[in-house]
Structure 1
Amino acid sequence: MARPHTDASPAGAHPDVLVVGGGIIGLGVAWRAAQRGLAVTVLDPAPGGGAAQVAAGMLAPVTELQYGEEPLLRLGMASNERYAAFAAELTGATGLDTGYRQTGTLAVALDADDRAELRELHDFHGRLGLASEWLTGRECRRLEPMLAPGVRGGLHVTGDHQVDGRRLARALVEACTRAGVVLHRAAAAELLLAGDRAAGVRTDDGADLTAGRVVLAAGCRSHLLPGLPEGVLPAVRPVKGQVLRLHVPPVYRPFLSRNVRAVVRGQHIYLVPRADGELVIGATSEEQGYDTTVTAGGVYELLRDAHELVPGLTELPLAETGAGLRPGSPDNAPLLGPTALPGLVAATGHYRNGVLLTPVTADLVADYLATGELPPLAEPFSPSRFQSKALA
């Protein structure tokens, strides 16, 4: 049960917007909201952390498309179309590179079954008017000579790109700071209510932060905020992903020229080559609660499957292992916009698309905060689609 709010905030410390969660989604919303003239505070013990520190950073709305996800496809493509300008604006505002690269993505098949599945996906792309090119195995290897000789064919999507999640997070922290966003480095302890309205958050360092509106952008912990009334936000489950980072010595570059992905033994795997020689391999998908332990089995499976796809990578130095938590909503699509609790806005549940959807989420939620109107592009992702009948 949320406590009634009693104003303990310092004079002048009542912003228009309090963003709970300083990952790339929360920071993106805060930056765009500040640009629209709103006074914004971000609450997070370590702004710039979160799942983006582990994410590979593929911007792949077309090659990640699954059947039945057409609304999510439209959202992802809208965000991908904004990325070049978004990244350039961030760099211009901060002087920091985001690692955005227009590399394209090659999705390949290693056996006949995978080839048939990719062929079906290519046909689906065609019916939706998406640009993807079918290549033979030989044509795939001509693009990426390090691919295994057994590659049977693939899809080349020139519009699916990449960004470095870590660099993006650093740039967003700096952009927020320069835009006047206040970064309060503490954790949220309890939601504060004023009557039937969200009024702010009590922090674990004893402060009461009040605001005109509260944005929940705390990833897979968003629904766990103490004091949040039952049924306002559906459970946002954590989905663990383990990732490896290899280093490609200069003598071996370019090892890969674009993102490469495949399905090996029924498991999705992708390789994302950075301009600085880093090669990111991901990612497992594990329903293990809030555990972020890197396991020997996870590392083994990633290396085994990546080796089948690109045999030469096992000669590369292993630079880092890591695990993060994707925030998955009940339908694996994001929660964007006002909730059933007045004054409380959601920006969470992005599952495997958090990095991809950062620009469009920032724009849509900031537009709502500035105007009170939810843009049509966000309407399919309203939290109200899961609203409890008890709140109706």
Structure 2
Amino acid sequence: MSRVNDVPRGTDGTSFEVLVIGGGIIGLAVAWRTAQRGLRVALVDPVPGGGAVQVAAGMLAPVTELQYGEEPLLRLGMASNERYAAFAAELSELTGLATGYRATGTLAVALDADDKAELSELHTFHQRLGLESSWLTGREARRLEPMLAPGVRGGLLVSGDHQVDGRRLAAALVRAGELGGVLTHRAEAVELLVEGDRARGVRLSTGERLFADQVVLAAGPHSHRLPGLPPGVLPAIRPVKGQILRLRIPSAYAPFLSRNVRAVVRGGHLYLVPRADGELVVGATTEEQGYDTTVTAGGVYELLRDAHELIPGITELPLVETSAGLRPGSPDNAPLLGPTALPGLVAATGHYRNGVLLTPVTGDLLAEYLGTGELPALATPFSPDRFAARSQP
């Protein structure tokens, strides 16, 4: 399908079939997969491969992240997780770059009686949905991961939850886009161009204008703030701050952890993700602090305190990095996928805590829509118009 001739050509503009605004991993995946369909694709971002993925732990955990009432999101996450091994292998074969994908599994543990009861209820919920998870006693959990605190009361082993290195994944997606013919403009999108009640393109910080038949908005928590976007087309995508720590596991301590470990400590979600190269990622805080990305002493303290309660030996490891990023949260914390109320404008944003997990499936679903005009059934529960529907009397 080629519709580039339908797009008005400005005297200072270049026309494409698809223009992606935002070069985080979601935008990169959409651009790459769409270009593979033979469409002429451009991507706009000052620093492609940046954004929240640079501070993401990279857990692929559709089952252990599951919350009650999120079954459609579970199906989307599991579909993406099932694609990940092939997705990562394809990227590595194409680019020669590793993604850090590892089929490690995840162990969720309980530190007290209340946590154990909650984890047991989650296990029952998993069984009701036909999901694979195994209940472990505290002793069995410690046998799997000897570094766990002696007081661990029980655990839930989910062998199908894995991990990927977000920074490596981003670098591979940038390179894949380059090799696949995506034309990247390393500039800021400063205005959405709307003509005749239709999205037509974007004006860049350089003054250049780009036109396209279809514009994909994948700018994370900045998506709804793009100047020129008509009111009401997108709900507010709020920034949710997350601080994480990166530690180094000396060879004398290896193996420290053999799989992802997570727990609820003092009401907050804590996870530890061990990399094959000896890095250990500890995260993450969840803070509604606007667009602030300051690393705070309090955030670092809370993560280390809670991690020490779960894994006492962690305080012996070198702390090599602290960082903070912004997750894009929609009003219901589920992504916005597909055409918006503004013709020509397509959303790929609002992935909240699941951006890394949902990268393969988002790329596939949006590329299918952009290439055929038909939104796949897997994406329909996440249509941007669901918020407009709720506001009707």
TM superposition score normalised by structure 1: 0.97
Write out per-residue CA displacement over residues 1-57 of structure 1, whole angstroms, 9 at most, x where no aligned residue. Answer: xxxx871445xx311100000000000000000000111000000000010000000
Does structure 1 residue 347 correspond to structure 2 residue 348? Answer: yes
Write out per-residue CA displacement over residues 337-376 of structure 1, whole angstroms, 9 at most, x where no aligned residue. Answer: 0000000000000000000000000000000000000000
With over 3 angstroms needed to count, the CA separation of the structure-2 counterparts of 1:390 and 1:60, relative to structure 1, is closer
**Residues 190-205 of structure 1: matches in 2 within 5 Å?**
190-205=191-206
Q: What amino acid is the match of 2:174? A: V
Write out per-residue CA displacement over residues 185-217 of structure 1, whole angstroms, 9 at most, x where no aligned residue. Answer: 000100101211100000111010111110000
Q: Is the 8 A contact 1:233 1:387 kept in 2?
A: no
Indicate which of 7, 12, 19 corresponds to 2:10.
7
SS in 2 for 1:34: helix
Q: Is the 8 A contact 2:9 2:211 kept in 1?
A: no
Does structure 1 residue 332 correspond to structure 2 residue 333? Answer: yes
Once structures 1 and 2 are overlaid, which stretch shifts more, 273-282 or 190-199?
Answer: 190-199
Mapped partners of 1:94, 1:290: distance in 2: 33
**Residues 314-329 of structure 1: matches in 2 within 5 Å?**
314-329=315-330
SS in 2 for 1:120: helix
Match of 1:311 in 2: 312
Q: What amino acid is the match of 1:207? A: E
Q: What amino acid is the match of 1:296? A: A
Match of 1:20 in 2: 21
Mapped partners of 2:206, 2:251: distance in 1: 47
With over 3 angstroms needed to count, the CA separation of the structure-2 counterparts of 1:331 and 1:95, relative to structure 1, is same
Mapped partners of 1:390, 1:112: distance in 2: 41
Write out per-residue CA displacement over residues 152-194 of structure 1, whole angstroms, 9 at most, x where no aligned residue. Answer: 0010000000000000000000000000100100001001012
**Residues 1-392 of structure 1: matches in 2 within 5 Å?**
7-10=10-13, 13-387=14-388
Which consecutive residues of structure 1, in runs of 5 or more, have no partner in the other structure? none
Q: Is the 8 A contact 2:191 2:203 kept in 1?
A: yes
Mapped partners of 2:195, 2:290: distance in 1: 33
Q: What amino acid is the match of 2:124? A: D
Write out per-residue CA displacement over residues 249-294 of structure 1, whole angstroms, 9 at most, x where no aligned residue. Answer: 1111111000000001111100000000000000000000000000
Mapped partners of 2:86, 2:124: distance in 1: 31
Q: What amino acid is the match of 2:381? A: P
CA apart distance, 1:390: 9.5
With over 3 angstroms needed to count, the CA separation of the structure-2 counterparts of 1:348 and 1:251, relative to structure 1, is same
Q: RMSD of aligned C-alpha atoms?
A: 1.3
Q: Is the 8 A contact 2:56 2:166 kept in 1?
A: yes
CA apart distance, 1:89: 0.3
SS in 2 for 1:149: coil
Q: Is the 8 A contact 1:231 1:391 kept in 2?
A: no
TM superposition score normalised by structure 2: 0.97
Q: Is the 8 A contact 1:240 1:285 kept in 2?
A: yes
Mapped partners of 1:289, 1:227: distance in 2: 22
Give structure 1 regions of 4+ aligned residues with deviation exceeding 2 angstroms. Answer: 387-392
Q: What amino acid is the match of 1:333? A: A
SS in 1 for 2:203: strand
Mapped partners of 1:152, 1:223: distance in 2: 44
Mapped partners of 1:194, 1:22: distance in 2: 24
Mapped partners of 1:339, 1:388: distance in 2: 12
Mapped partners of 1:56, 1:9: distance in 2: 42
Mapped partners of 2:162, 2:281: distance in 1: 14
SS in 1 for 2:273: strand
Mapped partners of 2:242, 2:391: distance in 1: 35
With over 3 angstroms needed to count, the CA separation of the structure-2 counterparts of 1:285 and 1:227, relative to structure 1, is same
Q: Is the 8 A contact 2:9 2:15 kept in 1?
A: no
Write out per-residue CA displacement over residues 305-328 of structure 1, whole angstroms, 9 at most, x where no aligned residue. Answer: 000000001000000000000000
Q: Is the 8 A contact 1:22 1:48 kept in 2?
A: yes
Once structures 1 and 2 are overlaid, which stretch shifts more, 350-359 or 381-390?
Answer: 381-390
Q: Is the 8 A contact 1:18 1:210 kept in 2?
A: yes
CA apart distance, 1:386: 1.2
SS in 1 for 2:386: helix
CA apart distance, 1:79: 0.2
With over 3 angstroms needed to count, the CA separation of the structure-2 counterparts of 1:96 and 1:378, relative to structure 1, is same
Q: What amino acid is the match of 1:147? A: L
Mapped partners of 2:190, 2:182: distance in 1: 21
Match of 2:3 in 1: none
Q: What amino acid is the match of 1:257? A: S
Q: Aligned residue pairs: how many?
A: 386
Q: What amino acid is the match of 2:43? A: V
Write out per-residue CA displacement over residues 217-266 of structure 1, whole angstroms, 9 at most, x where no aligned residue. Answer: 00000000001000100000000000000000111111100000000111
Q: What amino acid is the match of 1:288? A: Q
SS in 1 for 2:385: helix
